[in-house]
Chains A and B, each alone.
Chain A
Amino acid sequence: MKIVVLVKQVPDTAEERKLGLATGQLDRASTDNVVDEINERALEAALRIKDANKGTEVVAMTMGPDDATQSLRKALSMGADSGVHIVDDSLNGADAGRTAATLAAALRSTGFDVVMAGNESTDGRAGVVPAMVAEHLQLPLLGSLISAEITGDGVHGVRQGEGGTLNVRAGLPAILTVTERFPEARFPNFKGILTAKRKPVTTLSVGELDVQAGASRSVVVSTVERPPRAAGRKLIDDGTAANELAEFLVANRLV
């Protein structure tokens, strides 16, 4: 079985992330860029299948600037077999629609039985790219799963819905997205880090893919920064702090 995991390089959520006020685009220089944690969880799920079935092939695919190769190397060091990096200056500032069309074309040429992705990325929080890819490829999407079982003929999963969960299934090929309820990812071990350097990474440009530019796109028209919050009163509790807080809440009509 061939599993392609879609990994996105994002600014580290542990740092102060910035937008360029003139462009509305991500200021990539202001933070470290890392593999989105949710994609590490998706990769972990794929690697567990590989651990149990030696014939499984795991490919990590990303679309992003030159330095997104670092994310692929991370995935390879965790245990993925190979990487696909779609990189092209013309993709700079691509919206979700363009991203999905490009990923779909790359998936078509790479081939797969299962595609695994994150339910939403931490930078855009859009949660739309996998469903768009599914529509391009006319495939079922099992989105926002909290658990999944993948066998040779299909995927069974539990989806987190709004008022409860749903048991869902689809035949292969299929696309699925994982939520944070999936287990945390393993750390690369020493052997993994060493062998990652020798594993193949295919670089694809837009010209090598069968993808049209698309007439419709979303564009940012304004970006405004909110002033940071200031700290207010801080009391060390000496037994009276609860009363003072109650006074504060009453005075501010909050109770």
Chain B
Amino acid sequence: MSNVLALIEISHRGGIAASARGLLAAAATLGSPVAVVVSSAPLADDDVARLGELGAARIYSAVTAAAGTVLVAPAVDALSGAVDAYEPVAVLTANSVDGREAAARLAVRVGGSVLADVVQVRSDNGTVVAQHSVFGGAYTVESVVEGGLPVLTIRQGAIEGQAPAATADLETVSLEARAEGAAVIDQFNDDVAVSVRPELRTAATVVSGGRGLGSSENFVLVEQLADTLGAAIGASRAAVDAGYIAQTAQVGQTGVSVSPQLYIALGISGAIQHRAGMQTAKTIVAINKDEDAPIFDVADFGIVGDIFTVVPKLIEAVKARSN
């Protein structure tokens, strides 16, 4: 079977990134998954076992002192080494900050093309076909690469399911630590709050707050409803700009795209750029005191009312019904 490379990101603390599952699942639908991993120390047995569970038939483990100190370049070097070794039909990376830079550089280096922000993949008689969700889900587009290696960046959280588990063959190579032509990492600053809430990109329910919350203290209301529903927290750009919540929670055109079962918008007007990140949700609920707010145009259930009176009652009513 043809090989398909998947760049697996490892956090600077050593953990396998959450994107690994979807990448290996997508790789398995196209061929035999080869996990490409860059680290400063040889992979632990646990990591090898975990990648096998997630479907990796092989692991190309590149060990280099540059991992964690040189930005992205080690991943590109590892990928191009793995391309030579495995002659893959496609290379997959996460559509993450690091993943897409690695994909872009690799495509130039090996003479391939990038298919970006892919939400689904399939093989059509051996041709790799990528599906994209364009303009906030208004269009579904399929694309292919003609005359070169397809390098796909896979939207995080978009691929469901898991590849069949395998016992991964491990190949370890040592990679020269090169820093020329690359940026240097001086320090990692972890996000402070490690949340117990579900991850925004894959959550079944998302509760988002907008400028209507009025202050970061009031944003607690969003958190309370989210915790009642076991939901992830999202936000509009205005709420992020006002400092109510971290930028990583931004949903929309220039933020995260989500397609949950249920999306609840609190105090969000529903500007077209916000809708671009959530209008593919299965069910949309909106609470806004302006009855002309455009969010109501896409809401399955809208309440024209004050979030500060409706949401506390909603929390009580949901709690009462789930007891």
Give residues in A with beta carbon < 8 Å to B.
Answer: 13-17, 19, 24, 38, 95-97, 100-101, 120, 122, 124-132, 134-136, 138-144, 146, 158-170, 174, 179-181, 214-226, 229, 231-237, 241-243, 245-246, 248-250, 252, 254-255
Query: Residue on B with the closest CB to A122?
Result: B253
Measured between beta carbons, the chain B residues less than 8 angstroms from A139 are 181
Q: A132-B104, A162-B97 are known contacts. Are A236 and B291 too (CB-CB below 8 A)?
A: yes
Q: A122-B253, A159-B97, A167-B186 are known contacts. Are A216 and B148 too (CB-CB below 8 A)?
A: yes
Partner of B101, one of A97, A141, A224, A225: A141
B105 CB–A CB distance under 8 Å? yes
Give residues in B with beta carbon < 8 Å to A.
Answer: 9, 11, 17, 71-72, 76, 95-98, 100-101, 103-105, 107-109, 111-117, 129, 134-135, 137-150, 153, 181-191, 205, 229, 237, 247, 253-254, 261-262, 271-273, 276, 279-280, 283-285, 291, 296-306, 309-311, 313-314, 316-318, 320-322
Q: How far is the CB of B155 from chain A (nearest CB, A)?
A: 10
**C-alpha spacing A122/B97, complex, angstroms:** 16
Q: How far is the CB of B104 from chain A (nearest CB, A)?
A: 4
Contact: A144 with B97, CB < 8 Å?
A: yes
Measured between beta carbons, the chain B residues less than 8 angstroms from A246 are 314, 317-318, 320-321
Q: How far is the CB of B8 from chain A (nearest CB, A)?
A: 13
Partner of A237, one of B111, B139, B298, B304: B304
Partner of B183, one of A160, A163, A174, A255: A174
**C-alpha spacing A181/B247, complex, angstroms:** 8
Partner of A162, one of B71, B98, B305: B98
Q: A131-B104, A235-B303, A237-B309 are known contacts. Are A216 and B146 too (CB-CB below 8 A)?
A: yes
Partner of B135, one of A19, A120, A235, A255: A19
Contact: A218 with B145, CB < 8 Å?
A: yes
Contact: B189 with A165, CB < 8 Å?
A: yes
Measured between beta carbons, the chain B residues less than 8 angstroms from A140 are 71, 181-183
Contact: B137 with A226, CB < 8 Å?
A: yes
Q: How far is the CB of A40 from chain B (nearest CB, A)?
A: 13
Contact: A223 with B299, CB < 8 Å?
A: no
Contact: B104 with A254, CB < 8 Å?
A: no
Summarize A's interface: helix, strand, loop or mixed.
mixed
**C-alpha spacing A118/B191, complex, angstroms:** 23
Query: Residue on B with the closest CB to A249?
Result: B318
Contact: B105 with A167, CB < 8 Å?
A: no
Query: Residue on A with the closest CB to B237?
Result: A180
Contact: B313 with A242, CB < 8 Å?
A: yes
Query: Residue on A with the closest CB to B311?
Result: A242
Contact: A219 with B146, CB < 8 Å?
A: yes
Contact: B318 with A255, CB < 8 Å?
A: yes
Contact: B97 with A128, CB < 8 Å?
A: no
Q: A141-B101, A144-B97, A223-B139 are known contacts. Are A126 and B116 too (CB-CB below 8 A)?
A: yes
Contact: A135 with B104, CB < 8 Å?
A: yes
**C-alpha spacing A134/B103, complex, angstroms:** 12
Query: Residue on B with the closest CB to A238?
Result: B305
Contact: A166 with B143, CB < 8 Å?
A: no
Measured between beta carbons, the chain B residues less than 8 angstroms from A142 are 71, 183
**C-alpha spacing A180/B145, complex, angstroms:** 31
Contact: B305 with A128, CB < 8 Å?
A: no
Measured between beta carbons, the chain A residues less than 8 angstroms from B280 are 226
Contact: B116 with A222, CB < 8 Å?
A: no
**C-alpha spacing A125/B135, complex, angstroms:** 9
Q: How far is the CB of A153 from chain B (nearest CB, A)?
A: 14
Top 9 A-B pairs ranked by shortest CB distance?
A216-B148, A237-B305, A242-B313, A131-B104, A246-B317, A126-B116, A128-B104, A232-B300, A135-B108
**C-alpha spacing A142/B73, complex, angstroms:** 11
Measured between beta carbons, the chain B residues less than 8 angstroms from A134 are 105
Measured between beta carbons, the chain B residues less than 8 angstroms from A180 are 237, 247, 254
Contact: B97 with A143, CB < 8 Å?
A: yes
Contact: B301 with A248, CB < 8 Å?
A: yes
Contact: B142 with A222, CB < 8 Å?
A: yes
Measured between beta carbons, the chain A residues less than 8 angstroms from B114 are 96-97, 126, 128, 132, 218
Partner of A166, one of B150, B187, B285: B187
A-B contact pairs, 9 of them (CB 8 A): A13-B273, A126-B100, A142-B71, A162-B11, A174-B183, A229-B284, A232-B302, A245-B285, A255-B322
